[in-house]
Amino acid sequence: MKYGQYWDAFYEKTYVKEARKALWDVPAALSVGKDLEIFQSYFHPELPVLDIGCGTGEQAHYLSAYYPRVIGVDAAPTAVALAAAEHTLANLEFQTLDAADPEACAALHQKYGDMNLYMRGVMHQVDAAEQARFVANLSLLMGERGRLYFIEVADNIRSYFAEATHGFHELPKAVQEVFVSNLPPHGINLEHLPRLFPAP
């Protein structure tokens, strides 16, 4: 449950103690709103949508206007509590889930059935040795009818920031904090994706 421990510490420090927002916490219309234009025609509209790595719930709230049921899940209990307190809609709920835990994912699928999955900037945080199991869990959650849409950080993120500045000290404070935390962005290599998601 290391993912939950690290992320819970992050949300507790950033959102609760310092009353700040994360670097990636942008208006939902500019993030999931743009993604929706791409994946909406692929998702089965009658299935629930699972927002994996929902954070404080803004994306899940946005999706609830388009789908009959949206479940936001995150490995960090603090994030889930913040989301549940802020977003109270009849077709929207939040719960803690470690998506790297196959038993927890199996239990969730048993409860809700096949689901469409929305995932933004999550997989690059999963250790390389655990990514295949993580993808297997996603398949379990989707079942036969669900679909997956995910968008990721590229694996050149560190070199991008290095080339864009003259030194670490020039990076915005929020970026510095991410790189020195237990949650640094690793990025995903496009060439690696076919191995994780082989063609049927």
Looking at residue 39, its pLDDT comes to 98
CB atoms within 10 A of CB 22: 16
Instruction: Write down how long the chain is.
Output: 200
Sort residue 100 into left (φ over 0), alpha (ψ -120 to 50) or beta: alpha
Looking at residue 9, its pLDDT comes to 80
pLDDT along the chain (200 residues), means of 10: 71 75 78 96 98 96 98 95 96 96 97 97 81 93 97 65 54 54 58 78
Domains of the chain: which residue ranges? 2-21+32-146, 153-190
What six digits make up the tokens of 50?
Answer: 């699972």
Domain spanning 2-21+32-146, CATH architecture: 3-Layer(aba) Sandwich (3.40)
Looking at residue 152, its pLDDT comes to 82
Looking at residue 11, its pLDDT comes to 80
Q: Is the pTM of this model over 0.85?
A: no
Q: List all residues 6 or more positions away from 63 whose beta carbon is below 8 Å from its beta carbon.
A: 32, 36, 49, 51, 70, 118
